[in-house]
Amino acid sequence: MSKVINWLRTDPGGTCTPLDVLPVRRRMFDVFSRDDLLTWWLIDSGLTPAQPSDVELAYLMVCEESADVNEIERFRSQRLAPLGLCA
């Protein structure tokens, strides 16, 4: 995820300050889909192959909200399983 944030920043060599976080997060969701960001975060965090609890953590970290069981299973079956990233 830090690689995504650094790529989206206007000054990639700078350090991320609290004032940068909100605009960068909004821009991330403008550029990438939520599923792309969740997949990227799971891979970057070393949580693949992912279990349901890993996907739940990804939702909390990336989307700042919890996901219901149906959403977690949808993401695992439609996004992670075809990539071979499900545990």
Report the alpha-carbon distance of residue 87 to residue 84 in Å, rounded.
9
- The tally of domains found in the chain comes to 1
CA-to-CA dists, residue 76 to 10, 39, 42, 44, 48, angstroms: 33, 10, 12, 17, 11
Residue 37 lies in domain = 2-83
Q: Tens of pLDDT along 35-54? A: 988 998 898 889 999 999 99
Instruction: Write down the pLDDT at residue 26.
Output: 66
Mean pLDDT of 53-74: 92
Instruction: Give per-residue pLDDT as tens, 74-87.
Output: 999 999 999 999 98
Minimum mean pLDDT among 7-11, 60-64, 78-82: which range?
7-11
State the pTM of this model.
0.69
